[in-house]
Amino acid sequence: MSTPAAIETARLVLRPFGAADGLDVQRIAGDERVAREISLIPHPYPDGVAQAWIATHESSEAAGRTFVRAITCKDTGALLGCIELARTGFLHSAELGYWLGVDHWGQGIVTEAAEAFVAWAFKKTSFERVQSRHATSNPASGRILQKIGMRREGIASRMLQGLLDHCFDQIGLHRIWAETFVDNEPSRRLLDRNGFSFEGVKRQAYLKEDRYLDTDMWAMLATDPRPWKEQTS
Ligand SMILES: CC(C)(COP(=O)(O)OP(=O)(O)OC[C@H]1O[C@@H](n2cnc3c(N)ncnc32)[C@H](O)[C@@H]1OP(=O)(O)O)[C@@H](O)C(=O)NCCC(=O)NCCS
């Protein structure tokens, strides 16, 4: 396996993570102000999780699934944050994600990193589309996407409708299911409004921050009504 490339910008080096970064990742991503914005980052951040995560990077990149880079300071070499592209269900498309240590917020660092990383990905990977999402309560993240030239495609509703039409009509799927944490009211409303039916509660299947969490199970069939089509016909 070849070593994943490093990418340089004016102030930064985006390099592969190494095992020695584990404690810094735990400290930076484990900060509550970072962890609360990203569902996959636990808080408190348990020992060993960062090292285990870093150990997956090389094989995942070799398989074309996920491309992860440490955002580091060119002058000092210090680890500042993380940027990644993860392949979506479609081979040509990837989702951009990032986090930055709170001491470095507001200096244009993630904008600089994201611009270079996406340009690199379009040249060096098979991705032809990069997408991203942010909570409406996190406008700084939306501003980064806007500054690097992304177009706003809309709130999740329109994207979801397009994806459902594609999966049912082009791919021929019969059933699509979704799962939300029970207290995620915006997600619940999104699914309900777009024709998903509530199927029940999966009890305590997830563990986050030392709490077991229940999830709501939702599903939609190809034969179910699609409310957005009824509204426009
Ligand atoms: C969101 C985050 C990545 C921003 O990183 P950053 O390096 O500080 O971002 P940048 O400085 O490159 O750009 C932030 C932009 O948002 C703007 N911004 C900041 N707070 C804002 C707010 N409350 N409302 C509107 N815009 C805001 C900044 O002014 C800046 O825009 P500008 O250059 O036009 O002035 C960082 O705060 C973070 O890691 N947060 C926690 C994890 C996270 O949210 N990840 C993304 C999940 S979708």
Q: φ, ψ for residue 218 (rounded to 5)?
A: -130, 155
- The per-residue pLDDT for range 95-111, each reduced to its tens digit, is 999 999 999 999 999 99
- The per-residue pLDDT for range 5-58, each reduced to its tens digit, is 999 999 999 999 999 999 999 999 999 999 988 878 888 899 999 999 999 999
Counted residue by residue, the chain has a size of: 233
- The per-residue pLDDT for range 163-174, each reduced to its tens digit, is 899 999 999 999
**Burial class, 204, CB count within 10 angstroms (exposed 0-12 / middle 13-18 / buried 19+):** exposed
For residue 105, report the distance from its CA to the centre of ligand 1, in Å: 7
Please tell me which residue, 101 or 229, carries the higher pLDDT value: 101
Residue 14: CB atoms within 10 Å: 24
Domains in the chain and their CATH numbers?
7-147 (3.40.630.30), 156-232 (3.40.630.30)
Question: Measured between alpha carbons, how far is 21 from 19 in angstroms, rounded to an integer?
Answer: 5
For the chain, counts of helices (H) and of strands (E): 9, 9
For residue 99, report the distance from its CA to the centre of ligand 1, in Å: 10
Closest CA to 119 of 169, 80, 83, 171: 83
Q: What is the pLDDT at residue 232? A: 45
Is 1 a residue whose pLDDT tops 60? no
Buried b (16+ CB within 10 A) or exposed e, 83-93: bbbebeeeeee
What are the structure tokens assigned to 65, written together?
Answer: 């699934």
Give the residues surrounding ligand 1 with Cβ less than 6 Å away.
Answer: 34, 37-38, 98-100, 105-111, 134, 138-141, 143-144
